[in-house]
Chain A
Amino acid sequence: MAFASIYVPNFLLQSVVRDDAELRERVIALIDGTPPLEKVVAMSEAAARVGIQLGMTKSQATQFSGIEIRNRSRAQEKAAHAALLDLGWSISPRVENTARDTIVLDLAGLSSLFHADENVAHELVRRATALSLLVNVAISFNLETAIHAARGFAGVTIIPPGKEAQRLGCLPVGVLSPSLEVLETLERWGVRTCAALAALPPLQLSERLGQEGVRLHELARGASVRSLVLIEPSSGFEEEMALDYAVAELEPLAFLLGRLLDQLCARLTARSLATGAIRLRFDLERSPEKNLRYLDGKPSDEPAPSVYEKVLNLPVPMRDSKMLLRLLRLQLQANPPTASIIKICLAADPARQRTAQDGLFLPISPDPEKLELTIARLANLVGDSHIGSPELVDTHRPGEFRMERFVPSRDESLKNRKSSKPAMGFRAFRPSLPLKVEFREGHPARISFRGMRGEVVATSGPWRTSGDWWQENPWQHDEWDLEIHFRFPPVIHLERASTCPQRGLYRIYYDALRGNWFMRGIYD
C-alpha cells in the first residue's frame, strides 16, 4: 500500500504569494511579531540571494534595497492549508493532515485510475499548480519515509519498496525532526546524514539517546510503522485577505476579489464542486471622520457599521470565477460599502456541479449563468424590486402581487398547456389616478381626469369588495366598468389631441374609506 506525501516548502511565504504569482520572483520578506520587535520569519529565494536571513529584525531587513516587507498572514495560511487539503481530497478520500505544510494520502485503489505512481505524483503537482501552490511530492510504501522524502527532496520522488534507507541516506538528519538536544549530540558525534544514523547500532543508540534515538534510527532506515490518521473532508471554502492599505474604489477591489475568486474556484474545481452562494464580508475602516453617518442629510449618532456583508445567491451552482466576479461587481455597484475596506473574506457554499444535458426538444430557455448576469445588470438598472416574476398573493385586495425571483422552468408538463380564448387585456395605473365623477340617476355620467373630460355611454357596476378590516390597512371599493367618449377641452395642444383616446373602456372605483374616486386602469 503506497502513500503519497505532499509538502509545501516555504509555506509561510507561499501562503502569502499564492494570490499573486508575480510576488514569487520578487525580493520579499515576511515579518512577524509585536512592533517594534518584528522579525523575518520567511523570505523568497531572491531575498535569500541578496543576503536576508531568518530572524533579522524589520529594521535590518529594510536596509536591503528593493526589498518588499509583508506581514505574516495567518488567515492566508489557513486558506493555503485548506487548499492543500482540497488537493489531497481531489485524489484520494483518505488523507492525513500531518502538519500545516504537509499532508499524506493513501493511494490504495488508485492504480486502475492512474496506472503508475509517477502519474499520481505528476497529477498532484499539476493540480497543486492550479491551486497556486508549488509542492514536493514523494511516494513510498512507508508512510514516514514518504513524509521525510517530500521534505528532503524537491519535485517528485518515487521510492520503490525496500529502497527506503538507501534513498533517505543522503538526507540530513534534520529532516527527521529530532529535538534540538539530540540534534546537537548527533552533530558532535559527526552523524549528519540519515545513512550515518542508520549505520549506528540501535542498542547502543538506545543506551545513549533513549527512545528518541531508537525512533530516529527507525525513521532513518525507513522502517518506522504507523497508521494513517484520517480526517473528514471539510465542506467550508473560505478565502481571506487582510489589506495593508484600505481600499475605497471599486476597480482595485474587483482586482482583489478576482484573485480570491480564482482561488476559491480552483479549490472547488479540485473537489469537483461548484458553489450555490457566495458570502462576501468586508471589514471596514473605522476612523472617526469617515464614520459619520448621514440620515436624511443630517449626521446621525448611530455609528456606521464596521462590517459589510452580502450574500450572492446563485440560481444554479457555478464555479466560473469571471462570471462570479461580474455578479459581485454588479452587487457592489448597486450597494457599495459605506467605508474603505481593510479585510476581505469570501466564502463559497459548496454545491454539486450542474451536469444536466440539454435535450433536443426542450423549449427555448436562456443559459442559467448568463441569465443570472443579465438579471443582475437589469436589477442594477431598474432596482431589485422592479425585476422578477410576478406572483399573485392570496388576497382579494385589488392589484396585489409580489415579485419573485425569475427561475424559468423547462418542465415538460408546462408544455402544450392549452391557452384560453383571447382575453381582454387590462393595464393598471400605479398608483391609481384620482378622478372626478358626476352622477346621474345613481350611476356615473361624466368623468374628468388628466385634463380630459368624457361622457359615460355605458356602465356596469357597482361591484363592491372589501377586506382586511381586521388589519391596519382595510379597503372597501365600489368598482365600475365604464365606456367613455371623450370631449376634448376647447384649447388643447395638437400633440395632446393626437394622443388622447376618442373613447375607452375604464375601470374606476370609489374608495369608501378615503371618500374619493380613482381610476384603476384601462381595458386594452
Chain B
Amino acid sequence: MPQNLAALRAKVEFDLRGRASAPFDYHEREFIETVSVGIPEIDLLTGGLPRGGFTEICGPPCSGRTSFLISALASRTAHAEACVLVDGSDNFDPHSAQAAGVELKQLLWVRCRNIDQALRATDLLLQGRGFGLIALDLSDISPKTVRHVPLNAWFRFRRSVEDTQTIFVVLDQEPNAKTCASLVLRLGSEAARWSTTIETQTVDPFAHPSAWLLDGVDVRAEVLRSRIQKADAAGFHRGFAPAGIDGDTGIFGTKTIWSDPGKLPLESKPKGPKKRG
C-alpha cells in the first residue's frame, strides 16, 4: 500500500508538472493585508477589510449596510484608489455619498437593472483588475433571488479576487457566499437618534415635528465569519475591548449629514421653517 501511495503521488506530481511545483507540500497562508473601513469600531471588531478577499455584509433594510458601504468607499477614494460600485437595483444616492466624503470622480458606478447584469458586470470588473474596491450591492434584491445565485459564482469571484490588491464587498440581506467569504458581517439597526432645537425635554416628536431632526442611527455589527487576524496593536487579543466592542459584536453610530446651506446656489432657496439642502 505505501508503495502504491508513493507511486500515485509520483504520478500526480508528474501529471501536474509545470502547473503546480509541489502539490503535496503545505503552503502556509500568507498574511492578509487589511485596510480601514473608515469606521473605527468596525476596524477594531474585524481588523479591517481584507485585500484580495471577499467580504459579505448582510442585514435587513435600514440596517446600516449603505452607511458601511459609503464609509468604505470614502476611505478608499480618500486614498486615491479607483473604486467600483455595481448597483444591483440602481439605488445608490450620489448626493449622500459625496456628503459622506466619497470622491465621486474615483468611483465607477455601474447601474444594473437586475441581478444577472450585476453578476456579469462584477465578473468583468474582477477580471479587469486594478481597482481598490469593488462593491456588489444586492441589498434591494429579494433574498430568494440572491439565494438562487449558484455557489460556483461566489467561488469564481473569490478566485478572481485572490492574489490581487482588490477588496471585494458584497451587500445583501442574508449571508449567501458561505465559505467563499473571508469576512461576513451582519448589521442591524438599533434605535434612531432624533435631536431637537427646542428646550423642552419632551420626547414626543409629534409635538413639533419641524423642530426635530433625524440625527442618526446606531448600528450593531456582528461578525459571522472571519479569517482575518485582528491587529494585535488594537489590544483586542490582550483582553482589552474598547468601548462599543463586545466579543464578536460591535456598535457604531452613524450621523445624518446635511448640506451646508451656505453653499446653496442663489437660484432657489428653501422656503420651509428650517433650511436644508
Q: Which A residues have a C-beta under 8 Å from some C-beta of B?
A: 363-367, 370-371, 373-375, 377-378, 381-382, 386-392, 394-396, 399, 401, 403-404, 406-412, 414-430, 441-443, 457-468, 478, 480-481, 483, 495, 498-499, 501-505, 521-524
B22 near A: Cβ within 8 Å? no
Cα-based distance from A467 to B125 in the complex (angstroms): 39
B139 near A: Cβ within 8 Å? yes
Q: Are B82 and A364 in contact, with the CB atoms below 8 A?
A: yes
Cα-based distance from A305 to B132 in the complex (angstroms): 44
Point out the residue from A363, A371, A395, A408 that lies within 8 Å of B267, measured CB to CB: A395
Q: Which of B6-14, B140-148, B231-239 contacts A (4 or more CB under 8 A)?
A: B140-148
Cβ contacts under 8 Å, A408 to chain B: 82, 105-106, 108
The size bracket of the interface on B is: 35 or more
Among residues of B, the one whose C-beta sits closest to the C-beta of A523 is B62
Q: Which of B24-32, B152-160, B202-210 contacts A (4 or more CB under 8 A)?
A: B202-210
Point out the residue from A415, A424, A498 that lies within 8 Å of B257, measured CB to CB: A424
Q: How far is the CB of A368 from chain B (nearest CB, A)?
A: 9
Point out the residue from B68, B113, B140 that lies within 8 Å of A382, measured CB to CB: B113
Q: Which of B177-185, B222-230, B248-256 contacts A (4 or more CB under 8 A)?
A: B248-256
Q: Are A378 and B255 in contact, with the CB atoms below 8 A?
A: no
Cβ contacts under 8 Å, A373 to chain B: 128
List 30 A–B pairs whose Cβ atoms lie within 8 Å, in order of A's numbering: A365-B132, A367-B130, A370-B130, A371-B130, A374-B125, A378-B124, A381-B117, A382-B117, A386-B110, A386-B112, A387-B111, A390-B104, A390-B107, A392-B104, A396-B270, A408-B82, A408-B105, A408-B108, A410-B80, A417-B103, A422-B39, A422-B254, A422-B255, A423-B70, A442-B209, A458-B194, A467-B267, A483-B192, A499-B60, A503-B189
Cβ contacts under 8 Å, B107 to chain A: 389-390, 406
Among residues of A, the one whose C-beta sits closest to the C-beta of B63 is A524
Cβ contacts under 8 Å, A422 to chain B: 38-39, 67, 71, 100, 252-255
Q: A386-B110, A421-B255, A483-B192 are in contact. Are A503 and B62 (CB under 8 A)?
A: yes
Point out the residue from B38, B103, B265 that lies within 8 Å of A395, measured CB to CB: B265
Q: How far is the CB of A2 from chain B (nearest CB, A)?
A: 49
Cα-based distance from A404 to B67 in the complex (angstroms): 24
Q: Are A394 and B265 in contact, with the CB atoms below 8 A?
A: yes
Among residues of A, the one whose C-beta sits closest to the C-beta of B209 is A459
Among residues of A, the one whose C-beta sits closest to the C-beta of B70 is A425
Cα-based distance from A407 to B107 in the complex (angstroms): 9
Q: Are B64 and A524 in contact, with the CB atoms below 8 A?
A: yes
Q: Of residues 90 to 131 in B, which have CB atoms within 8 Å of A's CB atoms?
A: 90-101, 103-113, 117, 120-121, 124-125, 127-131
Cβ contacts under 8 Å, A465 to chain B: 268, 270-272
CB-CB nearest 4 A-B residue pairs: A425-B66, A366-B130, A467-B268, A423-B100
Q: Are A425 and B254 in contact, with the CB atoms below 8 A?
A: yes
Among residues of A, the one whose C-beta sits closest to the C-beta of B252 is A422
Cα-based distance from A255 to B76 in the complex (angstroms): 42
Cα-based distance from A441 to B255 in the complex (angstroms): 29
Q: How far is the CB of A401 from chain B (nearest CB, A)?
A: 5
Cβ contacts under 8 Å, A386 to chain B: 90, 110-113
Cβ contacts under 8 Å, B103 to chain A: 414, 417
Q: How far is the CB of B47 from chain A (nearest CB, A)?
A: 17
Q: Are A419 and B214 in contact, with the CB atoms below 8 A?
A: no
